[in-house]
Chains A and B, each alone.
Chain A
Amino acid sequence: MNLTTIAEVKRPASVDDIDGWRDGYSWLAGGTWLFSEPQVAVDTLIDLDSLRWAPLTATDAGLDIAATCRVVELHDFEGPPGWRAVPLFRKCIDSFLMSFKIWNAATIGGNVCMSLPAGAMISLTAALEGVCTLWPRNGEPREMSVVDFVTGNHQNVLQKGELLRKIHLPAAALSKRTAMRQVSLTKFGRSAALIIATVGDDGADFLLTVSAATPRPVQLRFATCPSAEQLRHALDARLPPDAYFADVHGSAPYKRHVTQYLAEQIRTELA
């Protein structure tokens, strides 16, 4: 929709071209959320596309996903054969409520910075132990894991004007086996629960990531693949009934119920 309060669009060639920061400024990535609701507090858009960041950079160390990487670019990514987690990219992208057409515009960084519980790129990058590089307006770049980046429903650690530059997925995580389950109240609807687990070839380092069912991603790490009872116990201990996120896409008791069910399915698959 038209953002009728916008007076100016800045299109910097470098982030350094943006002096300071004031209320009313907003970074513009894909625009797919920004243009979906009135933004009456915003008067200036700062276009990140004009920075021309390379969307995806694969090295031996892992994959760097620029904040401005389009969802479609990640969807089309084919990594080296050893990166066994790459098919998970598509599975998570397919679990978006959004249509494939939106993938052409929406960015990975935008989805992570929106920090909605059902943000499938949060689920993906958290599960693959992603690390965000953040550029504060003043000061040195800082790094933070995706799972710590999101602090609640529509909340994250970003300070005013701070920019998410990229997310690094370490090669070690990309090499693990993965399993994923997702449910929603309607067919291909917004996730009520999106659960991912990764595990090393040797059955070590079982990492369960619960998302959509909780306000922010929650991770449970086990040295080896847990038993059904251990998993159940750990979930109950970490996520009491009031730790689940109730919204129109699923009640909290339902999300708890399906989280436990799907987590067990994933455990069985990876065991």
Chain B
Amino acid sequence: MTDFHVNGRSYAAEPAAGQCLRTFLRDLDVFGVKKGCDAGDCGACTVHIDGKPFHSCLVPAFRGAGREITTIEGLASNGELHPMQKAFHDAQAFQCGYCTAGMIMTAVTLTDAQKTDLPHALKGNLCRCTGYRSINDALHGTCNIEPDEAGKALGASLPNPFTDAIVTGKARYTMDLAIEGLLHLKVLRSPHAHAHIVSIDRSAALAVPGVVAVYTWEDVPKRLFSSALHEDHLVDPDDIMLLDNVARFVGQRVAAVVAETEAAADAGCRALRVEYAILPTVFDPVLAVQPGAPLLHDKDLVTASNNIFCTLQGEIGDVAKGFEQADVVHEQTYSTTRVQHVHLETHGSIAWKGEDNRWHIRTSSQAPFAAQKKLAYIMGLPPRDLHVFTERVGGGFGGKQELVSEDLVLFATMKLGRPVKWEWSREEEFIGATTRHQMTTRVKIGARKDGTLTALDVEVFSNTGAYGGHGSETLAAAMASPIAAYRCANKKGIGHAVYTNMTPGGGFRGYGASQTTFAVECAIDELARLLGIDPFEMRRKNVVRPGDNIESIWKEPSDASFGSYGIDECLDIVERELKKGNGVAKPEGAEWTEGQGVALAMLECGPPTEHRSGAEMRLLPDGTYHLACGSTEMGNGITTAHKQIAASMLGTRIDDIDIINADTDRTPYDTGTFASTGVVVGGKAVHLAAQAMSEDIIGFASRFTGVAIDQCRLDNDAVICGNQRILLSDLHAEGAKVDHRFSVTRRAYLSPRTIAFNVQGVRLAVHRVTGEIRVLHSVHAADIGRPINPMQCRGQLDGAVAMGYGWALVENMVHDDEGHMVNPQLRNCRIPTFADTPHTDIFFADTIDLIGPLGAKSQGECGINPVAPAVSNALANATGVRFAHLPFTPDRLFAKLAAAS
């Protein structure tokens, strides 16, 4: 045994020969050391060795012997937060918190010189949630929080209730659990984009020491399902099996190996001998609809004839006539890329059989209840035999609205009776999870000389990849709000979601609307340019307003409705701010040219399909409250928001409300935390439950005291009845005597759906030779109703806008001609670093919504949508060249820039 010193403790242990320090520390139950990439790119595993920072995933464990190793758990001393932990606490410099340990461990080592150059100093630490603004705040000692005072919760910038756990490394994410007798599952993934699996010889794999079982398509239930998670499973096609005998994309699961160690499971995967019969492939959705294209699915009558999974079309008015009335017409094809969510916590689940003889699945999901229903269906179990839950989830962004890890661990644990864990690698995220749908969008748009739109025609080809989950819903979103955002009597659209041999598309923040928003907002700008009308004026003139029909290309009645209206204010703010400027000048030199652009986005708050949530509240014997709601906390801040909603209804502090979320055993049903529903559905359930809780307490107090109910009111930890003040703990005791339980539950449903807007303004400089883009001024205005927690809302927008810049300027998944991803590592498929992410000035329209709970609207999702088109519009303004195809990396710009110079 060798001596290791970790956080002041000595351990006698022997790492495996090729073990890295990261997993070795986690084997010692030091779970603050996180895995974001396991390849040195993200910094989540940063630890100190003899005071110097290292990415522990790259350090051979044996080199840690005899040296002083410090992890996030060892930073605080005597129960006092380290000043840097305190700074992250005060600035709330995290959202999901998964990167925080590594971020803090890096930040504490920075020299003063490094602190003056954070873009360089932090380039080895990726955060996908915050857009780095709050991290910058922490490093500058900014405090972003307000005190938690009774009765003042609504609209207060209160800190995340799990802050201390996050900044000290104690917060437990999905994999931060040691389980006795745990087995490990790994999958072999297809190297071919389309192949029939002729045979799988598992004998060599089973002979690998430690391998317990091998599963192939022959072993699993022959039940088709969709990995997409929605309330109504019928919106997604049943086209996937646990394991299939046809591989339809590179990276599809072919077989699962379960073993005593991850190493043995990996070795087992390598030992499998698979005979593939290669099938012809198609990757382009336009080619995939041509006669004779290889067919992806022949599972039913619809997909047996062609690759079109779904076509949506409609027309209002008469578009042909509308174009006749137009003085100018713009027509152009735009395209957007597939990108990966890159939630820093990869997918993963742990399943076991409980003493209650039920199956328990601890997972990283945005929708544990929908997952529970789907798992019950796949395995043929009653849902009550399944318990699906999350503890802390390290980011989602739509990527975890997908059942991709829970199914196999449950299957294996049901077969083997032992706990089974499956933790995905970063590479698996790139090749085996879902991406944003790549869409190609032709827009034809016409207007009169005065700018009035006369006709809008949109055609979308969406590449849904090998499987159709989210294909129809994202297409529906693509054909909806970006078109409905403009008043125009004649609109037409047709969209196809097409199967190809690409990685499947999935849900991703913005969900289809981002893609059409890019095309339409660029087209509106082009039209304004043709007409010589200011882009702000063009939008003001044509944007939908109260009294208009809120419709895209269908005349059917819609439940979308203006609970408030703030787009005019948002446009005014962004115009004013850009005009005012921020003092950042264009870089010197004749090669730099400057321009500005604007784009807007509209969001119907919540999906058009079913969505529901419940909340439960109890008064506890000590006079504090318990709140349970099924929504998932993944960095969206929903637990803080829900506590604030409840606290504001009960006149108390959020600290006096404990909360449980996203657990099928311990919270009421919730469809899932996606489609902008955390506040408007989950929050509404909490609002109703808190209201009922208040009525229940006051009602009992009135009966107990004999004071009329209108003379009774809640006052923090007490109820005031006339001139008496009774502590809630005393009241609870009185209730207990007569079996009054002080517990309530309420359900919320999504209808009508209110409408939110976002406007992004960008001033940038572009280098005409190198193609480098520098964002000089970034302004965002959001019409999100009353911010329940302004600091969190700003953080959500920071993150969404940063992701928008990533999509526009940085991220690029590259595939070769055979469908292999060329760059499935974060050092090759970049996401924005601190340096890539401009600071954005964020403003809120002064709206209080009449539909959303307490005047609030959705805020986490839509901020991403106007960013890419605003960048394209600014580029066009600067150079006269329209860049219509994402991403705008310099090597994709330079030739056109040179030609235009």
A residues lining the B interface (CB < 8 Å): 1-9, 28, 30-32, 35-40, 45, 47, 49, 94, 97-102, 104-105, 183, 185-190, 192, 248-251, 253-255, 257-258, 261
Please, which residues of chain B bring their CB within 8 A of the CB of A183? 770, 772, 890
A250 → chain B, closest Cβ, in Å?
5
> Which of B46, B825, B835 is A101 in contact with, Cβ under 8 Å?
B46
> Which of A1, A8, A100, A254 is B124 in contact with, Cβ under 8 Å?
A100
A102 → chain B, closest Cβ, in Å?
6
Contact B57 A35 (CB under 8 A): yes
A52 → chain B, closest Cβ, in Å?
14
Cα distance, A102 to B123, chains bound together (Å)? 11
> Which of B57, B121, B829, B833 is A1 in contact with, Cβ under 8 Å?
B57
B250 → chain A, closest Cβ, in Å?
17
> Which of B23, B58, B890, B895 is A185 in contact with, Cβ under 8 Å?
B890
> Which of A32, A38, A251 is B58 in contact with, Cβ under 8 Å?
A32
Q: A186-B832, A251-B892 are in contact. List 9 more A-B contacts (CB 8 A).
A: A2-B23, A3-B18, A4-B18, A5-B267, A36-B40, A99-B106, A186-B830, A192-B891, A253-B895
Residue in B43, B266, B889 whose Cβ sees the most chain A Cβ within 10 Å: B889
Q: Which 3 A-B pairs have the closest CB atoms?
A: A99-B124, A6-B18, A3-B18
Beta-carbon nearest neighbor of A99 in chain B:
B124
Contact A35 B772 (CB under 8 A): no
> Which of A105, A186, A261 is B54 in contact with, Cβ under 8 Å?
A105
Cα distance, A192 to B425, chains bound together (Å)? 28
Contact B891 A104 (CB under 8 A): no
Q: Is B262 an interface residue (CB 8 A)?
A: yes
Q: Which chain B residues in 820-848 approach chain A with CB under 8 Å?
A: 822-823, 825, 827-830, 832-833, 835-836
Contact A9 B836 (CB under 8 A): no
Cα distance, A40 to B55, chains bound together (Å)? 22
Question: Interface readout for B39-65 with A: 1 if CB under 8 Å, 0 if not?
Answer: 111010010000011110111101100
B102 → chain A, closest Cβ, in Å?
9
Q: Is B263 an interface residue (CB 8 A)?
A: yes
Cα distance, A36 to B59, chains bound together (Å)? 10
Please, which residues of chain A bring their CB within 8 A of the CB of B833? 186-188
Contact A8 B58 (CB under 8 A): no
Beta-carbon nearest neighbor of B114 in chain A:
A100
Please, which residues of chain A bring their CB within 8 A of the CB of B41? 36
Contact B898 A257 (CB under 8 A): yes
B403 → chain A, closest Cβ, in Å?
26
Contact A101 B39 (CB under 8 A): no
Question: Interface readout for B91-130 with A: 1 if CB under 8 Å, 0 if not?
Answer: 0000000000000001001000010000111011100000
Please, which residues of chain A bring their CB within 8 A of the CB of B810? 186
Question: How many inter-chain residue pairs (CB < 8 Å) link A and B?
Answer: 155
Please, which residues of chain A bring their CB within 8 A of the CB of B55? 32, 99, 101-102, 105
Q: Is B16 an interface residue (CB 8 A)?
A: yes
Q: Is B769 an interface residue (CB 8 A)?
A: yes
> Which of A3, A49, A98, A102 is B63 in contact with, Cβ under 8 Å?
A49
Q: Is B38 an interface residue (CB 8 A)?
A: yes
Contact A254 B58 (CB under 8 A): no
The prevalent SS among residues of A at the interface is loop
Chain B residue total in the interface (Cβ 8 A): 64
Q: What are 21 A-B contacts with C-beta separation under 8 Å?
A: A1-B38, A1-B425, A4-B16, A4-B262, A28-B60, A35-B59, A35-B60, A97-B827, A99-B124, A101-B54, A102-B58, A185-B889, A186-B833, A187-B835, A188-B833, A248-B812, A249-B828, A255-B891, A257-B769, A258-B894, A261-B770
B41 → chain A, closest Cβ, in Å?
8
Q: Is B531 an interface residue (CB 8 A)?
A: no
Contact B18 A5 (CB under 8 A): yes
Contact B123 A2 (CB under 8 A): no
Cα distance, A32 to B266, chains bound together (Å)? 21
Contact B266 A100 (CB under 8 A): no
Contact B40 A32 (CB under 8 A): yes
Cα distance, A49 to B64, chains bound together (Å)? 13
Contact A248 B890 (CB under 8 A): no
A57 → chain B, closest Cβ, in Å?
23
> Which of A6, A35, A40, A100 is B40 in contact with, Cβ under 8 Å?
A35
Contact A99 B17 (CB under 8 A): no
Question: Interface readout for B225-258 with A: 1 if CB under 8 Å, 0 if not?
Answer: 0000000000000000000000000000000000
Cα distance, A189 to B119, chains bound together (Å)? 12
Contact A2 B19 (CB under 8 A): yes
A23 → chain B, closest Cβ, in Å?
16
Please, which residues of chain A bring their CB within 8 A of the CB of B59? 31, 35, 105
Cα distance, A192 to B772, chains bound together (Å)? 12
Cα distance, A59 to B23, chains bound together (Å)? 43
Beta-carbon nearest neighbor of A38 in chain B:
B266
Cα distance, A257 to B23, chains bound together (Å)? 44
Contact A261 B63 (CB under 8 A): no
Given that A187-B119, A187-B835 are contacting pairs, would A37 and B23 also be in contact in the complex, using a CB cutoff of 8 Å? Answer: no
> Which of A8, A36, A100, A102 is B17 in contact with, Cβ under 8 Å?
A8
Please, which residues of chain A bring their CB within 8 A of the CB of B119? 187-188
Q: Which chain B residues in 116-148 approach chain A with CB under 8 Å?
A: 119-121, 123-125
A220 → chain B, closest Cβ, in Å?
21
Please, which residues of chain A bring their CB within 8 A of the CB of B106? 99, 101
Beta-carbon nearest neighbor of B42 in chain A:
A99
Contact B814 A261 (CB under 8 A): no
Please, which residues of chain B bring their CB within 8 A of the CB of A102? 40, 55, 58, 124
Beta-carbon nearest neighbor of B23 in chain A:
A2
B888 → chain A, closest Cβ, in Å?
10
Please, which residues of chain B bring their CB within 8 A of the CB of A251? 891-892
Please, which residues of chain B bring their CB within 8 A of the CB of A188? 119-120, 123, 833, 835
Residue in B57, B60, B822, B892 whose Cβ sees the most chain A Cβ within 10 Å: B60
Cα distance, A131 to B894, chains bound together (Å)? 37
> Which of A3, A4, A190, A254 is B267 in contact with, Cβ under 8 Å?
A4
B687 → chain A, closest Cβ, in Å?
43
Q: Is B67 an interface residue (CB 8 A)?
A: no
Cα distance, A104 to B55, chains bound together (Å)? 9
Cα distance, A204 to B267, chains bound together (Å)? 58
A149 → chain B, closest Cβ, in Å?
23
